[in-house]
Chain A
Amino acid sequence: MKHKYIIGFLFTLAIGLSITGCKKSYLDEYNPAGRTAETYFNTPQGFEGLVQANYPNLRGIINYQSLYWLGTDIYSSYGINDINYVNLYTKAFNSADGGITNYYSQLYYAINIANTSLYWATQVQGENPTTLNYRIGEAKALRAFYYFLLAETYGGVPIITQPITAPTFNYVRPPEADVYTQIIKDLTDAIAVLPTTTPDAGRVTLGVAQHLLAKVYLTRAYKSYGGGNADFQKAVTMADAVIAGPYSLQPVFAKMFDPTVANFQANNEIIFAVQYSTNPLTNGAGNSLNQALLWDTQVVPPIGRSSLYGKPNFAAVPTPFLFSLYDKAKDSRYAATFWNVLYAQSATNGFAVGDTVVYYPNTSLTPAQIATKKYYTINPDQYRTSPFSGLTRSFPETKKFRELNVPYQDNGGFRNTYVFRLAETYLIDAEANLAMGNTGKALQLFNAIRARAAKPGLDPLTGVAYSTEMQVNTLTLDDILDERARELYGEELRWFELKRTGKLISRTLAHNDEAKASNSIDSHFLLRPIPQNAIDLNHGPLAQNPGY
């Protein structure tokens, strides 16, 4: 009898062991579809992939239109009755705002990829040493760019230069000056190793780092802890180096923005551009810049849903002040930037396809003149209202960023976003020279941009070339900011430019009708609030900026 029991137990044991005990690997993880950082980033191919992963972050970061544009002299909120605290600088702008929360997270996400790249640069086996140095330069230049955006938005922020491998809960905020020290160190390191050109369009090159460093010095020069004239001089040196580099101003402004021109984006005025493509495998969600700075033309029945005039993203619109800055008779940039006529896209309400539906004359027409026309005429003093349904305004529609073959200008555009362009380098150089009292050199740089912007040919009224008439003899900081608005509308990060020059409050109150009415902007708004989730999730105290 007993041996039967023993047999029974042995039997069970044997079966149990046969499926588990013998195969020690039964509990090993099998992951044929995935790889880990440790087994991939140390190979040249993996490391290259990691460095490439830095670039998609730019697509999101460069697209924070509400933070870059709203509440400035040339942009305001979309709708007639909008109450947008970012534009108005009211009490409601606080640490819970989604824009400043996501912007902060995205920048630190991007910084971690740069940090991770720099870590694996020390571990990778078999990478060509020259290429390796170049990649290190790319990561450092990008990291510096992100810290620059952080410092200008939030002030002193935690400086992290190592990849995140374990959670940290006790961040503290260093002085803003320390962040600048880190930025300048990274850019200086990058400039030492970066090549002048690259076959890979959109990669960081020497010019990118130099242009950025010029701007960083220029920005720091104004600050209480900055280097003053020494920083202005360094900005000039850097900007001069860029201008002496492989870049040149294009002869025709419009051609850099017109998608009907072949290869319009491939030109050597562009120093750095966020890349997009028509290949859905690399384009991600695509570029949505085409939706910026539009009004909702679809409420006009003969236009309807139109691919030509686009769909607004409601982030921001240009103020009347912007339109007033253009000398529409002489400056070619106005027509390159805006549509002043909108044509019927479908035959309805008495319009045939191609008929003029809305017209924006350069100078106001009289009611009598307007009454004779079948189409809507909108005078420059009417840009804040509209005769159409909805709370949209009707102003000359932006055409600078339009896409071809993106139906109804939906998301998923293909054109690149220019981040640094040589024209801006000229204006940085001019601003730094002006600040140091080198007005002559400043004027020379400034007029180079003015001359290029002029319409071709002679002014029939004077017989003088437009390019000559556009040039000026005197220069102020406000002139430079006005010129930046005309030249870099929709490109520059306007809020930072005004903040740098100390003109944010004065110019916004002067030219942004909504912010002026609200009249609540004060100096505490020169820093955005630290996101509440960064404060809430941190275990130690993370100081909030004063006033929030």
Chain B
Amino acid sequence: MSFNYAWAQSKITGSVTDSKGATLRGVTVKVKGSSTTAITDLKGAFSISASPGSQLVFSFIGFVNKEVTVGNQSTINIVLTQGDQSLNEVVVIGYGTKKKTDLTGTVNSLEGSVIAESKALNAQEAMQGRLPGVDIIRNSSKPGTDFSVIIRGQNSINGNVQPLYVVDGVPVVNNVNNGINDINPADIERIDVLKDASSTAIYGSRGANGVVLVTTKRGTRGATKINYDAYVGFVNAYNLPPMMNGPQFVAYARDYYNEQAQTSALLNNQPLPTTSVPDNKIFSPTELTNIANGTYTNWINLIKQNGLQTNHNLNITGGDDKTLYFVSMGYQDYQGAVKTEKTQKFTLKVGLDKTLNRTFKFGASIYSAYVNINPGSGEAFRSAYRLRPTGSSTNADGTPRFLTYEGESQITNPQFDLTNEINSQQYIRVLPNVYGEVNLVKGLAFRSSFTPDITFQRTGVYDGQFTKVNAGTKPASASNGHNDYFNYTFDNVLTYNKEIGKSKFDVTAGSSSDYYQYDFSGISVTGLPYQSLWYNVGTVVPTVINGNTIQPTTSVSSGYSKQTIVSYFGRVNYTFNNRYLLTGTIRGDGNSIFAPGHQWGYFPSAAFAWKITEEDFMKNITWLSNMKLRLSTGRVGNAAISGNLQPYVTQSTIGGTQYNFGSANANGFSPALLANKDLSWEKTTEYDAGLDLDIFKGRISMQLDYYNKTAHGLLGTQALPPENAFGGVVANIGSVRNNGIELGISAVNIKSKDFTWSTNLNYSHNHNEILNLYGPGNNTNNVGQQQFIGYPVSVVYAYKIIGVWQQSEAAQAAKYGQIPGQYKVQDITNSGLNTGTPTAANFNPDGSINPTTDRQIIGSSIPKWFGGITNSFKYKDLDFNIVVYTRQGTYQQSTFLVQYLDGDQGRARFNAFQRNYWTPTNPSNTWANQARQIDGNVRGISEYSNSSYTKISNITLGYTLPKNAVKSIGIQRLRVYVDAFNPFVFTKFVGWDPENPSGNSFNNADFRTRTFMLGVNVSL
């Protein structure tokens, strides 16, 4: 036989393609049982020597291995089919990558294609609803906003709860915006979210809130590929809460004034007024004219627009064995639904990777973004909702009218703010990277990487005299600010892989230093003679307004802060017989912001995984292609950066005070904070048990995790009794536990020649609980900050409204000093903590309402569960995709209600939320009578409600033109699509947006918007 073997060697050639006919390069072709291998070239071609009867194995990442027995033929053409993605998927972990099947920790991933298809303006929003255990809410409704991301529950009481963001291996922090907000979603190759302690421990002190790893696109081997994606759409406001129109408001105001006089008399034991309040006491002369003429103003319509959104993304990639290149350009232009709101983003990424020889490789890339944000007026939106519809937007001669009616000089015509209040933020962010790799010997590699993260920002604010801010009585003002951020990360990492028999090792060890520096300067002036924005702050002059001469002012400021972190880390993975996997990790971090003696922290972890399906006794179960059990534990820290723990917090810093003695300057300095030199790391201990399943050759795959994590020594501001002079001190206080389950399922429900239907589903449930607030064993609640042991970190502790006092209950109401039409508060009278479900034991009505005994826990802003479901359908060349997201069990205060149920209603001053409220003739049990409900505390509680919601995040319908039709014009692929982004929301919440219920109505609130887009995707 051995003789035959020798002379029967023959040369086999052929090519490898994928199921769509595209050539595959880089496919490994190996003669089974020998060391002979070949790699396919650019055209997918290979050439290898093999004897007849031997077997060729074709393997390529992402594709199913194929074995072919060599016969007499000299040419073998192979089609590789895309494999079970979940088995071959490679995920990014800290300081390295790993095949998903070899993971011992919990990692969830999003492919770049999913991110691009989400049509979200930033990566955080793209992740929403698509990853289990990752809770994402918006920070503001304004365009260009950041999102808040909370992984596996709120892990701190008032410390930082946001994850660490790592872009291409480099931790990025919030400079101007969140660390990844500036990355164009189209440039993202993938996002991997590390959740359990064994995965995050490699980031040590910064891993406790999870780690989001963003990998941007790099060059790929092969012919030059050009991809162009463009879409345009309009931005539309929806889900607007109902406000009163003119006649409704007139009726409401009259009712209000009369009811107020009645209430005043009732409560003051005076005779009830018998005549009603005349209209001229309720409305100004201008309003009376408008009411008589039936001319009302819808202020909201005056500021609303359908914005235009435009996106263009172009990327070019290619390379050969030694050199890879990537160029990408992006342009984003977004107009909000309020006039003048506009954000623009230009991004450019250029990267080059060069392999010199077997030993050396280096590369460099630069990611840069230029962002231009014009958030529009911070006031126009609020004023449009506040103003009475009975005011006038124009004078008799048609010119715009600043003060809309007599007596209202604070809330001004929002049209003036649109033109006279101009805000601008422009910044350039540059993220360059250079690295070098040395493959010292087989299996041992060293990589050194240096990555600065630099942002230069200019902020400009201009407020003309005729703006809400300056009220028409103050001179025009402007400010010009500069913020410069210089950060860098310097990593040195050594990796070593070794296989000995059935044992496989891979070892990672390294060091990292991080540097964060910020400085700013700013000038603010008043008295600008003309609308020079913030570009000519030297030209201020005295301004004469209403006969008063107002002197100009100029004030300047600057500041600096710096933080440094030094780290050493190591990780060992050990695999035995491809079944038993062990991972051990440790990181030591030193952070400059703590006082000497408290600067260093150590964070170890360990994990074990068992690939059950690799066991012999499982081999016969063919429907189960993968079953893996994972167990991990570890200790990680909370990031002392980008949260509210800032440099110098352990120093007894001083702050400036302003005063004068006569005309002499008497500015001084006073202690700025209560320094806590003992401040230390917040440490989280986490346990995780997970099960991964792939069924029916990957038709269904599932990832199920249970976790339990406890954070100790929470960093936060501890509120102090007021006698302490300082309202709070930053301290390590208390412990919080989060435990929960996460489930992710992806299934290909139907797969036929023409039709495919697949579903991705995720579900997360988290239980959040304060374990202690002042150290283990201490059961003291912090009532002042509404923190209670055994309850979530964020609860609403207040009276419970159980209806409205009705006329028939007047006598009972009187016992409480109340009258019909006011909210009825539950009288439970229990000296202990009331949890919202009174029992016989704690329900002892005593006829009075008292904060000590009658407040209850009535809800929490933390969701009980959330989840998302994505359904994708493909029929021939048509594709259809719908994403639904839901977040349930939240209870929050509505800013809308704060303003338009409660806001300054002393004179029915604001337009009001259109609602069914109590009057003597309308016995509503839902909304109290505004004039009668004089207790602001109780009124405030009525503004809380269930803010759960379900939304459709995205609907896409696409059509890919037949290949033949486009090939003739040199195009490989051409797809056109329509997309509805955030088109519907379903909620009982009263307010603009259940995703941002309690955002400030100044500078933060805005319409909830949806975008309808038309797009095209071209590949050359």
Contacts and interface: CB of A to CB of B under 8 A. Distances in A.
Contacts of A532: 851
Contacts, number: 325
A341 to B, nearest CB: 18
B906 A31 contact: no
B815 to A, nearest CB: 11
B721 A538 contact: yes
Given A167-B718, A282-B660, A33 B559 contact: yes
B892 to A, nearest CB: 21
A389 B722 contact: no
B564 A278 contact: no
Given A16-B492, A49-B668, A389 B651 contact: no
A367 interface: no
Contact of B268 (A55, A56, A518): A518
Interface stretch (A181-189, A357-365, A400-408, A423-431): A400-408
Interface in B531-558: 545-551, 553, 555, 558
B181 interface: no
Given A36-B652, A37-B671, A81-B261, A391 B546 contact: no
A52 interface: yes
A405 to B, nearest CB: 5
B510 A52 contact: no
A207 interface: no
Interface in A166-218: 166-169, 171, 200-203
Given A19-B490, A111-B725, A275-B662, A53 B474 contact: no
A201 B657 contact: no
Nearest to B848: A91
Contacts of B653: 31, 34-37
A252 B935 CA distance: 46
B724 A168 contact: yes
A405 B724 contact: no
B259 to A, nearest CB: 10
Candidate in A4, A29, A54 with the most chain B CB atoms within 10 angstroms:
A29
Contacts of B1003: none
B167 to A, nearest CB: 21
B661 A536 contact: no
Contacts of B747: none
Interface in B586-619: 590-593, 599
A170 to B, nearest CB: 9
B281 interface: yes
Is chain A's binding surface mostly helix, strand, loop or mixed? loop
Chain B contact residues, majority secondary structure: mixed
Given A27-B591, A282-B659, A533-B722, A1 B441 contact: yes
B960 interface: no
A403 to B, nearest CB: 10
B267 A280 contact: no
B268 A514 contact: yes
B473 A34 contact: no
A282 B492 CA distance: 52
A105 B659 contact: no
Interface residues of B, number: 109
Contacts of B1018: none
A26 B514 CA distance: 10
B659 A275 contact: yes
A457 interface: no
B407 A296 contact: yes
A534 interface: yes
B669 A49 contact: yes
A31 B651 contact: yes
A169 B775 CA distance: 14
Nearest to A15: B492
Nearest to A34: B653
Given A29-B651, A537-B720, A389 B282 contact: yes
B729 interface: yes
A545 B653 CA distance: 37
Contact of B666 (A83, A116, A200): A200
Contacts of B284: 299, 301, 389
A309 to B, nearest CB: 12
B45 interface: no
Interface in A53-69: 53-56, 59
A55 B662 CA distance: 12
A296 B651 CA distance: 48
Interface in B278-312: 280-285
Contacts of B97: none
A29 B664 contact: no
Contacts of A83: 263-264, 267-268, 934
Given A27-B590, A55-B666, A83-B263, A167 B473 contact: no
A169 B548 CA distance: 51
A64 to B, nearest CB: 15
A9 B510 CA distance: 10
B148 interface: no
Interface stretch (A157-165, A232-240, A470-478, A494-502): A157-165
A388 to B, nearest CB: 8
B494 interface: yes
Nearest to A19: B513
A501 B176 CA distance: 59
B280 A389 contact: yes
A11 B780 CA distance: 54
Given A16-B492, A112-B725, A282-B659, A518 B269 contact: yes
B264 A12 contact: no
B722 A108 contact: yes
| Most chain B CB inside 10 Å of its own CB: which residue of A1, A15, A278, A311 | A15
B260 interface: yes
A389 B407 contact: yes
B244 to A, nearest CB: 19
B272 interface: no
A51 interface: yes
Contacts of B935: 92
B582 to A, nearest CB: 22
Interface string B702-742: 00000000000000001111111111010100000000000
A418 B906 CA distance: 32
Given A200-B662, A275-B660, A284-B658, A536 B560 contact: no
Contacts of A266: 662
Given A20-B513, A531-B722, A537-B719, A282 B651 contact: no
Interface string A262-304: 0000100000000111111111100000000000101111001
B555 A26 contact: no
A90 B848 CA distance: 13
Contacts of A19: 490, 511, 513, 566
Given A56-B657, A81-B263, A202-B661, A517 B550 contact: no
A282 B666 contact: yes
A377 to B, nearest CB: 17
B281 A391 contact: yes
Given A12-B510, A15-B492, A536-B783, A56 B560 contact: no
B268 A517 contact: yes
B269 A519 contact: yes
Query: 8 closest A-B pairs (Cβ-Cβ)?
Result: A52-B668, A112-B725, A201-B662, A16-B511, A536-B784, A200-B661, A53-B668, A53-B670
Interface of A: 1, 4-5, 7-9, 11-12, 15-16, 19-20, 26-38, 40-41, 46, 48-56, 59, 79-83, 88, 90-92, 94-96, 101, 104-105, 108-109, 111-113, 116, 158, 160, 163-169, 171, 200-203, 266, 275-284, 296, 298-301, 304-307, 311, 345, 349, 388-391, 404-408, 410, 514, 517-519, 531-534, 536-539, 542
24 contacts: A4-B441, A31-B561, A31-B562, A53-B670, A55-B668, A80-B264, A83-B934, A88-B268, A108-B723, A116-B671, A163-B671, A168-B721, A202-B660, A277-B662, A284-B658, A298-B406, A349-B285, A391-B260, A391-B281, A405-B550, A408-B471, A518-B268, A534-B723, A542-B721
Given A311-B409, A517-B270, 4 more contacts: A90-B817, A116-B671, A284-B658, A389-B281
